Structure formats: structure tokens, C-alpha cells
Structure 1
Amino acid sequence: MTHKIVVVYQSLLGIYGDRGNAMVLTKRLTWRGIDAELVMVEPGDPVPADGLIYLLGGGEDWAQIAAVKALEADQGLHKGLDAGGLLFAVCAGYQLCGHSFTVGDNEEVFPGLGLLDVETRRGDVRAVGEILTRWTKPDGSSSYLTGFENHGGFTTLGSDATPFAKVEVGIGNGTDGFDGATQGNVVATYPHGPILPRNPELADYLLERALGQALDPLLRDEVNAEHKQLRAERLHIVRTTKNRAEQTR
């Protein structure tokens, strides 16, 4: 069986290199000897209902509106989630999964896909820069996640959505001290980077959740060593930047 990693509307929701998230998911499956296929779907193409993981990335206001209209008309994503597929949504992709979001200087409200019990409205400041969050995993342990956020919307969670990670540096949702949300088969977050190349532990979590099984550790010393070094550097930089900002207040 070949598992489909589906990038939804790259031309609309791909301005921050979020396709890299799909590449990481596909590669980490094939490295383990699991058949995987990277599927690119553009507006007008049917979204396959048999995807393992679907990905929505970042985009501009008009792109969010166009993506919602196309996805509602197609219904393939909805069918895929109903069939057990997992959706990983980033930034604009996160916002359009909610009940509604605003665009433009007049903050016109547009309906979202309703996959998450969240609402997004324009914030007081724009969130731009490195973000560091602490993600609590299902087993109760925790891990730091690094990324880059660039969004003007602040997101408020309703009672059916659960915060994804606690913000230590950055803004995230902007309203509750957390970043992202999870609900049902949807995992959403603000950071780009892309986030999964930066945080392969999160990539494996998504794969394990979608597959419904634990994965063997990847024994690739050269990849693991390089990632460990880059991760240490990113954590050092974001923490140093935070300390400097606090000292100048």
C-alpha cells in the first residue's frame, strides 16, 4: 500500500516553503521502507479522499478566501478526514480551518471550513520572528519546537479545540499564551520554517498518529547529528534574542 502525503493548493498556500513539511513526511516514511507518494493538488483538481496526511500552508488573504471556496466545492478534504486522514495546517491554513477569519483593512469576516472550533481576528501587532514553544506529547513528556511566525491574525480557541503548544518566545495565537490548536484529525500551528524539517520529532508524531502505529527510530547518524547541531544553534539564538530584548526594556 502506498500512503499519500497530499499538499493542498501549493499555488495558493505555499508562499513560505511549507511544501518542505510534506517532503519531510514522505522521506521519513520511505527511509523506513514504507511506501509513500507526495501528491500535489491545485485548485480545480480533485482532492483525493484517501490521503494519509493532508497539508495546508501559509498564504495571503485573498488566497485563504479562494482556498476555502475551492475546498468547500470539492469536499475531498472533508471526505479524507472522515475516512481517517490527518490534516496538518500551518498559519493561513490554520486560520481557514476555523469558523471564520478576517481579511483586509476593513476586517471583513469570511467563513472558514469549520474543522476547528477557533475564530481569527486581526491582532494589535503583527507577529514576526522566531518562535519557541513547548509541546506536551501524548505520553506526558515535552519537547521544544522552533519555527518562524509571520501573521497578523490572532486566534481564539473555543471549548472543542485544545491548544497545541505553550509559547515561550513569540506570540503564537496571541490571545492565550499558546500556539495552534488540535481537534479531531486536525493539528494546526502558526510557525513556518518549515516547521517539520526543524522538528522531526513532530513529523514522526504526525506519521504515527496518521498510521495508528509506532514507528521504529531512524538510525541515520549523519542526519541525526546535523539536526542536533542545527537545533542547538536555533535554541541558543532564540533564547539569546529573548534575553537581550528583556534587558533593554
Structure 2
Amino acid sequence: MSNSYLRVVWVYPDLLSTYGDRGNLLAIAHRARARGIEVEPIGVRSDQPLPYQADLYLIGGGEDGPQAVAAQRLVQDGTLRQAADRGVPVLGICAGYQLLGESFVASGERCQGLGILDLRSDRGESRAVGEVAGESHPNLGIGPITGFENHGGRTHLGSAVQPLAKVTHGIGNDGQHEGAWAGHVVGSYMHGPALARNPLLADLLISWATGGRQLQPLDDTWPNRLREERLSALASDQG
């Protein structure tokens, strides 16, 4: 696609769109358009085929039942796996993160994932609810991450992926690491929404989606103020 035009697919909003995750689509659109990049947002319901030609796919969170249905339909559709194999960026949040892996547990049953990321998810002894923060992988260049988590899953990473961040507050995958990434695919438990609270992650996805385009800085006064407030509050709690 053109470096000045993005087709952004919001995957199955009828099944996977909890805790304000649609804000990730809004954040991408806002930050791309502010740089003169035209954005075509495409919402694709679960009874529709995913478009093959897209520049970025976004998946949100959801409850166990809808997550299992979404995974089954995405496996049958095949487009998302093919897109990831071609290097098209994908962001999965919470349930959307888990279904990018090899398998996950929903409603007590182990379900097949898409196998895009080398990880598997199961259930933890307690639910992880509250703020999550961490130091992101240095190769990503996005600095500290901050978000809100609400999940019962625990995710175990394989050797073919890297953790998105080392946890400094909250649970994330397992109390030590949060999220995962490989190539141009990122998964995370962060709501908030994630890209509004972590604008550099949004910019990284935009850069990937535009073929590595160098993005000029934006006035991030308000996003940075929000981030500083949340990170400062966590630092005060730990102090």
C-alpha cells in the first residue's frame, strides 16, 4: 500500500470489543491523519470475510464464548494468518492476544488458536485486575508501557517470540512479563485503550504499516500527561 494511505481492519467488533478497545482504531486514525496519512477504517463482523488487502489488523478483547467463536472463524477464514506471514502488522489485545497463539482456554475448554505467535494461554488461580506497567523490550523503542488489565488467563511464551515488556506492576502474562511480539505482530493484555496510553506503540504500528516510514513527532502533551499521572501513581503505591 501507499505510504500515505492505510487500510486498517477492526476485526470482529461484534465479538471482540470490550473495555474501550475500539479506541486503538481511533488512536491509529488520529495519529496517522495528523501526519497527512489517509486512513480507511474497515470494521469486519464475524459473519464477513476479512479483506486480504489491508495494512494493519486490530483485534480487541472479549468474553470466553465470543473469543472461542472468533478464533474458530478466523482459523477457517485464514486471511489473518496469511497477512501476518506476509509481514502485515497485527495488534491483538487480551482475548485477541490469546487467540493469536497456539491455544487458549475458554469456558473450561482448550481451544485452537491461529498459531501466529509462539505462545499458549491457560487460566490463572486468580483474576488479574488493575493497572499493569512495565519496561518494554529495548528493540521496540517505545519506552515504558502502561495499561489496564482484566483477565483470568496466564500466557506462556515460546522461544520464537519476545515479551513486549518486563512487568514492574501488575500481572500481564505471568507476573514477570507482559505481552509478546514477533516480526510485526504484537499481543498485549493492556486495555486503556493501549494505543491511547502508549502513543509510541501506535506510531510503531503505523511505521510498520507504511513500510518503515519515518514519522514526524506530534504534540503529545495530553497523552504524556496521562502516562505520567498513571506511572507516577504506580510509583507512589510501590513507594
Q: Per the shorter chain, which TM-score range? A: over 0.9
- Could you say if the C-alpha distance between residues 63 and 216 of structure 1 is closer, same or farther in structure 2, counting changes exceeding 3 Å? same
Q: For 1:5, what is the secondary structure of its paired residue?
A: strand
Aligned residues with identical type, % of pairs = 42
CA distance in 2 between partners of 1:142 and 1:11 (Å): 30
Counterpart of 1:99 in structure 2 is 102
Instruction: Trace 1:67-78 onto structure 2 (pairs within 5 A).
Output: 67-78=70-81
- 5+ long unaligned stretches in structure 2: none
Structure with larger Rg:
1
> Retained in 2: the 8 A contact 1:50–1:83?
no
Aligned residues: 236
Q: For 1:38, what is the secondary structure of its paired residue?
A: strand
Counterpart of 1:246 in structure 2 is none
The ranges of structure 1 where at least 4 consecutive aligned residues each deviate by more than 4 angstroms after the TM superposition are none
User: Normalized against structure 1, the TM-score is what?
Assistant: 0.89
How far 1:38 sits from its partner (Å)?
Answer: 0.9
How far 1:80 sits from its partner (Å)?
Answer: 2.3
> Retained in 2: the 8 A contact 1:134–1:142?
no
Counterpart of 1:230 in structure 2 is 226
Q: For 2:51, what is the secondary structure of its paired residue?
A: coil
CA distance in 2 between partners of 1:152 and 1:122 (Å): 6
Q: Deviations over 1:132-175 (max 9, x none)?
A: 11113427x56111100011010111111211111000001016
- Could you say if the C-alpha distance between residues 110 and 32 of structure 1 is closer, same or farther in structure 2, counting changes exceeding 3 Å? same
CA distance in 1 between partners of 2:78 and 2:109 (Å): 25
How far 1:28 sits from its partner (Å)?
Answer: 1.1
User: Normalized against structure 2, the TM-score is what?
Assistant: 0.93
CA distance in 2 between partners of 1:228 and 1:190 (Å): 20
Instruction: Trace 1:142-153 onto structure 2 (pairs within 5 A).
Output: 143-153=143-153
Q: For 1:138, what is the secondary structure of its paired residue?
A: helix
Q: Deviations over 1:57-91 (max 9, x none)?
A: 11000011110111122222223223331110111
Counterpart of 1:79 in structure 2 is 82
> Retained in 2: the 8 A contact 1:131–1:238?
no
Q: For 2:179, what is the secondary structure of its paired residue?
A: strand
CA distance in 2 between partners of 1:119 and 1:4 (Å): 29
Q: For structure 1, which segment, 210-219 or 125-134, has the greater mean C-alpha deviation from structure 2 after superposition?
A: 210-219
Instruction: Trace 1:129-168 onto structure 2 (pairs within 5 A).
Output: 129-138=130-139, 143-168=143-168
- 5+ long unaligned stretches in structure 1: 244-249
Q: Report the residue type matching 1:135 in the other structure.
A: S
**CA-atom RMSD, angstroms?**
1.6
CA distance in 1 between partners of 2:224 and 2:122 (Å): 37
